[in-house]
Structure 1
């Protein structure tokens, strides 16, 4: 039995029962009402038996009318009440079949059905964006992985067809291409692990992670002529130490690699605010437009003029930073610096008092 039928029967049954109770009350009133009260109300005393006998057929007619009226009115009212639910069901079926662009857009006053429809539309919007992002990511990842594999095949074909070729040079090039493929695969695994939120949260000091990241990347900075300036006090946070270290390292690495050709500078600062802890990484470099900066957290996106070299990365650095920030319930802000370069700010929630001890 459909919900509409159940509501119709419920409405008709309730209306009929109410009528029956009202008629029973009238019948009881006539049965037990004293003759003096009837005389005072009507001015005469009727035959009580004849009055009750004539009262019964009328009650049957009234009950039949109430039943028919309840069924017809209940069916119409139930249909009007359930019409929004029908639209939501149709939208759900379309989404289940793969159509995520459809929206319910329920009109009318704000009620439970309207709230449900709006929540469903919001879910479809987020789901559509997520699916589109995953499709772009899969396509880009396939392209990025295909490139080193194609280069490796070409190098192997050269070695097979030309035995006199310098195999030492081929091995070096194969090693470089293989290293890039491994780096890309590891970056994809880090990104997947962050998105799954499969990590244990523990107290972490961001200032110590900054020191570790700078110490690791200092040889690269010296090689590229980049100066790193770090400042800040103890910055307690809570989360995965491995992921937050990966986030910090990616930010510092990105600031070093995408800097001025010479005499560049990286500024790293940590701090504590009222409800958040803040990690700020700034670097000198080329001037970037706000439109370009807004795309840098997309996987495999690189700024204009950023060429690939031994340390350029695989195009997932800021995408990993964004993902790690989100799974730690934080926010990521990237803005271009007027003189050139970027200013990246990561804000994470302060840990609860018991977690910071």
Structure 2
């Protein structure tokens, strides 16, 4: 075990005291060099007109009187430097002590404590404020991950429990319809696979920054609309596409997931026959946008704020044969947009439904050679 060295406060105190002693010694040395060296050695007789002579102190006499006084002065300066240095070091290091205390509490699992520094706006205040902001983000992320893990466990338990129940029923009934059994097992398995793949996609997106290329959001959205055109038609939902070139620096597979999730969410959670979905891209100024608007039930701002949380389906959002949703579509979209440096905005429509807008920094369109 390594032995603990001197504390920072003691080192600063010794430094302050040493600095005071050195400055005092320099001043005393100046007195000696520029004054005492001009005083001759030996008996100095001073002749005074009319009153005889007198003996003046020589260099040795002055040194005999000066050195003890100078030594005492240096000792006093050292003591004063230690006292003042200990006080000043404590004042200077107080923010670090508060940061260290907050770090120990965070290491023990208490993420709610904040430093709340109220001192002057200096480097230590900046470090304390940055540390508080870091703790706030860590606390929010940890709470989100815990909630996410709990929800994920619940969602994965559902298809597994369904599979076990189906097998138990099949084992108790030797005349069970094999085709129906296989279909139900397949549906439960598809549900588990979909949830697992969605969780892995979110984990990969959050873990490392994706590779980027220049991508046209219009082409990405066209692929997504083409994919879900059949689903929209089967539900009686009109699907409109208005794609203008909108180039961004992004990852094409992730942007395909983003567009697909937004379009699928708009189709599945629509009003059905008579409903519509409008998907469009545009580039205005420094931003490129991908917007998906759909009809549906009326949503409040409170409802919309919860839609991007994992496994949130909202009132009236149920699974159907063509959509065994896990409630991860908008959570995946949010994760992708954050990873690519964009923003996802969800706004409820006054007549019912939702407007989802993904906004990214626009880049110039590639040249023909590119």
Q: TM-score range by the shorter chain?
A: over 0.9
Instruction: Give the secondary-structure state (helix, strand or coil) at the position aligned to 1:333.
Output: strand
Match of 1:137 among 122, 144, 148: 148
TM-score between the two structures when normalised by the length of structure 1? 0.94
| Residue 2 (structure 1) aligns with | 7
Pairwise CA distance, 1:47: 3.2
Matched, 1:200 2:211: yes
Q: Which runs of 5+ in 2 are unaligned?
A: 1-5, 41-45, 47-53
Q: How many residues align?
A: 350
Q: Counterparts in 2 of 1:149-168, with a 5 A limit?
A: 149-168=160-179
Q: Counterparts in 2 of 1:97-136, with a 5 A limit?
A: 97-136=108-147
Q: Which runs of 5+ in 1 are unaligned?
A: none
Instruction: Give the secondary-structure state (helix, strand or coil) at the position aligned to 1:272.
Output: strand
| Residue 254 (structure 1) aligns with | 265
Provide the rounded CA distance (Å) in 2 between the counterparts of 1:355 and 1:23: 77
Pairwise CA distance, 1:314: 1.2
CA radius of gyration, larger in: 2
Pairwise CA distance, 1:261: 2.4
Match of 2:358 among 336, 343, 346: 346
| Residue 18 (structure 2) aligns with | 13
Provide the rounded CA distance (Å) in 1 between the counterparts of 2:131 and 2:172: 60
TM-score between the two structures when normalised by the length of structure 2? 0.90
RMSD: 2.0
| Residue 340 (structure 2) aligns with | 328
Worse overlay, 346-355 or 88-97: 346-355
Report if the CA contact (8 A) 2:236-2:274 is conserved.
Answer: yes
| Residue 28 (structure 2) aligns with | 23
| Residue 313 (structure 2) aligns with | 302
Measured at CA, do residues 355 and 70 of structure 1 come closer, stay the same or move farther in structure 2, by a change above 3 Å? farther
Instruction: Give the secondary-structure state (helix, strand or coil) at the position aligned to 1:9.
Output: helix
Pairwise CA distance, 1:32: 4.2
Report if the CA contact (8 A) 2:210-2:340 is conserved.
Answer: no
Q: Which has the higher helix share?
A: 1
